[in-house]
Structure 1
Amino acid sequence: MKITGYRTLSTRHAWNRSIGDVNGHIRHAVTEIPIVIVETDAGIEGVGIGSHADLDRLFPALLGEDPRAVTALFDRMTAQVFKSGHAGATYGGLATLDAALWDIKAKAAGEPLWRLLGARDRFVPGYASGLDIALDDDELAAFYATFAERGYVAGKLKGGLDFEADLRRLGILADAFRGNTSTPGLMIDANESWQVKQAVRYVAALEEHVDLLWVEEPLRRWDAAGHARLSNAVRSAIATGENLTGVDQFRGLFDAGAPDIVQAGAIWGVSHFVRLSFAAAARDLPVSVVGYNANPAVAAAAAAVPNHLTTEVQDVRFAPGLIVDQEFIDGGIVLGDEPGAGIAVDEAAIVAASAGEGWESTAGPHMRPDRAGLRLLLDGIER
């Protein structure tokens, strides 16, 4: 079997709510969902979801190769961009091609990807995440109630600006899950908005009232020493790593003993997650997938590694034209039996849903505010 080409598609996911974090938010949010389909001379096609970045630069490493050599082809793609490097957006394109190759490999074997990767159980534990900083209290309660109805027992709040609001809103999350458990799992995500001492004061104050499972991305992603200092100063686990593009970028964090929970962005794909998981396992650290809906193939890898903790679930729907053989029930993700990653593409449905405006704004959570990390906040207002 040989790789002969690829084609790209895009669909749009309407969140039907505002989404965002401490860095900004988008009302009536619509996200572009890039799809890559890798073609072979055997007629088997692989589907990857995630990014279209630098595909033309990466694909020569795959053309004419046997797609089942996924691990070697992952390294071949990183070598293809050796001089400019694989970091940042390029890693997204690489990971999407990688996910498509894993899909082909499992389809060729006639097995679901989770089984091919060695998983024993099709269930992947998960937690709810509303990207919820712009939701009012009633909207917040309604969102987490829908996940509680599906058996979820934990949720993550976007916060970090207003202590009193965060404390109140964490209480709303806890109330939503109390029908399923007497001790709901609560996390808070500050999206790299604090300095070390800001984080210590804020988290320590929260811990007087709330038993947090973890604090996510409290500091800049590269601040290994700062994360280690913070972890030693608070009870909560410190979770970080979702924005690091390559296992090599975790070296400083690991050397400093910085992360308590090692996070992998789902958009960085299957091979990244598997390799990172084993690097973390060698240090007795758990791993967690962030932004799961961006790449549903990664759930198969989460089921297969020995140290997966829980996966962030941001929605229970996929974009038009994407049919995914998974269910969001029983407090997690239940993987199906379709060969491959379980992703089917209905191109007609994508075309039919393509009318309207996409997410064109350059503001919102993907642009860091000028004063991030420099704010003097006393009551939720910059002073």
Structure 2
Amino acid sequence: MITQWIRIPLERPVGFSIKTLTHREHILVRIQSDQGIEGVGFCLQDISGRAAKAAMDDLLVPMLLGEDPRNINKIWENMYWQTVRAGRRGNLLHALSAIDIALWDHQAKLAGMPLYKLLGAYREEVPCYASGGYYYEGLEVFTKLEQEIQGYMDQGFRAVKIKVGRLDPVQEAKRVKLVRDLIGPDVKLMIDANQAYLDVNECIELCKRVEEYDITFFEEPLPIDMMEAYVRLRKQTSIPLATGEVGATRWEFQELIRQGALDYIQPDATMCGGVSEWLKIAALASAQGVTIAPHYHWDVHVHLGCATREVAILEKFIGTDVKNFDLIINSPMQVTPRGTLVPPEGPGLGIEWNEQAIRKYLVDEKVMAYDSVPKGV
């Protein structure tokens, strides 16, 4: 088993409402079996790659050594319940998520089929939206936004999302109006505040200023911890609400759904507990008629979206200005002329890793040997 911590610098600083990014960090985990099959999992870890890798190396990986990698449910339960005092969310759960994704990648490769086929395909492609509208230091806010959105339209996107929450409500409303005027009435428009608003009344002010621009959903207007505040906000605005990219496990999402706080949930398999937990969350959403719009890593979510009817749309970044994970992948996924993403037909996740690039951005690596991997696996 190999764990790798990589840090990929961004070409220039890029910001959203509460933070400016200069790089992206990920943890990779590679699980090998005695047939030479390797399952690879990953998680985004901008804040503390070192902590997530330590949680993986010191707490979780020792629980896997000698286990049959096909016993995914058994392994998940053991990793989660044996570490609840160390953390049921955050760094440890992100590390657990990466391991679970690696196990499912291995399972599908063992079966010789794409992950979405192994899970029971519902469709062959999923709609996606262009995710952008970030704040770039040193660039004029409105000019940069106009150029970016026009680029998405030229590429044929039928849905876009922009950031809000860094500027005052008047300025943010001007940005939203600019985008709506550019894309016209038939293209979907979403906004994302990255949990910027701590005051429901302030958030209501922004909602009132942008409601006329037909917003498909308002993502993370408030911190996910403020569930009752979401309920209050939902009563005060006609804009559908979404959150969940930092949500943890089925239990947190169950409470969000139970309180009637949301119209869309956004579980991220690299953070919520892996493929195993994502599927449980999707089942909760299905039972309550809640729509799913997964966050970020389309390389795994395209498979989950193709296996799950409740997924309405996937997030897609163009280029590597913000999401530069594509720099360590050969043949990154492209958007179809229909504005959809199609999962690779290779076994597992179908990702071809650029090993030279991984070595270039590698911060730390640890190799752990199995002594008792079950034979025939």
TM-score by length of 1: 0.82
> Are the aligned partners of 1:19 and 1:131 in contact in 2 as well (CA < 8 Å)?
no
In the TM superposition, residue 176 of structure 1 has moved relative to its aligned partner by 4.7
Give the equivalent residue in structure 2 for 1:368. none
Which aligned pairs between 1:310-349 and structure 2 lie closer than 5 A? 310-316=313-319, 318-323=325-330, 326-329=333-336, 330-349=338-357
AA matched with 1:48: G
In the TM superposition, residue 11 of structure 1 has moved relative to its aligned partner by 4.1
Deviations along 1:294-324, one digit per CA (max 9) or x if unpaired, are xx22321121112111122123554333236
In the TM superposition, residue 96 of structure 1 has moved relative to its aligned partner by 0.3
Structure 1: distance between partners of 2:164 and 2:362: 33
Deviations along 1:224-275, one digit per CA (max 9) or x if unpaired, are 2111111121111010121122121223322311111111124223223211
Structure 1: distance between partners of 2:276 and 2:156: 30
Structure 2: distance between partners of 1:17 and 1:187: 24
Give the equivalent residue in structure 2 for 1:30. 23
Answer yes or no: is 1:199 the counterpart of 2:193.
no
Structure 1: distance between partners of 2:192 and 2:168: 13
> Are the aligned partners of 1:219 and 1:227 in contact in 2 as well (CA < 8 Å)?
yes
Give the equivalent residue in structure 2 for 1:43. 36
Give the equivalent residue in structure 2 for 1:365. none
Structure 2: distance between partners of 1:120 and 1:290: 20
Structure 1: distance between partners of 2:146 and 2:7: 26
> Are the aligned partners of 1:215 and 1:239 in contact in 2 as well (CA < 8 Å)?
yes
Counterpart among 171, 178, 182 of residue 165 in structure 1:
171
SS in 1 for 2:266: strand
AA matched with 2:108: A
In the TM superposition, residue 7 of structure 1 has moved relative to its aligned partner by 0.7
AA matched with 1:24: K
Structure 2: distance between partners of 1:111 and 1:325: 19
Structure 2 CA distance for partners of 1:145 and 1:36, relative to 1, 3 Å: farther
Structure 2: distance between partners of 1:157 and 1:255: 28
In the TM superposition, residue 10 of structure 1 has moved relative to its aligned partner by 4.0
Which structure shows the bigger proportion of residues in helix conformation? 2
Give the equivalent residue in structure 1 for 2:300. 297
Counterpart among 137, 142, 149 of residue 142 in structure 2:
137
Counterpart among 274, 283, 302 of residue 278 in structure 1:
283
TM-score by length of 2: 0.83
Give the equivalent residue in structure 1 for 2:82. 80
Give the equivalent residue in structure 2 for 1:90. 92
SS in 1 for 2:161: strand
Identity of aligned residues (%): 30
AA matched with 1:351: R
Structure 1: distance between partners of 2:11 and 2:208: 34
Aligned residues: 342
Tell which deviates more after alignment, 345-354 or 334-343: 345-354
AA matched with 2:170: E
Once superposed, which parts of structure 1, at least 4 consecutive aligned residues long, lie more than 6 Å away? none
Answer yes or no: is 1:114 the counterpart of 2:122.
no
> Are the aligned partners of 1:61 and 1:80 in contact in 2 as well (CA < 8 Å)?
no
Give the equivalent residue in structure 2 for 1:360. none
SS in 1 for 2:110: helix
Structure 2 CA distance for partners of 1:8 and 1:60, relative to 1, 3 Å: closer
Structure 2: distance between partners of 1:313 and 1:291: 7
Structure 2 CA distance for partners of 1:331 and 1:275, relative to 1, 3 Å: same
Give the equivalent residue in structure 2 for 1:213. 216
Structure 2: distance between partners of 1:324 and 1:117: 24
Give the equivalent residue in structure 2 for 1:55. 56
> Are the aligned partners of 2:133 and 2:145 in contact in 1 as well (CA < 8 Å)?
no
Structure 1 unaligned regions, length at least 5: 1-5, 356-383
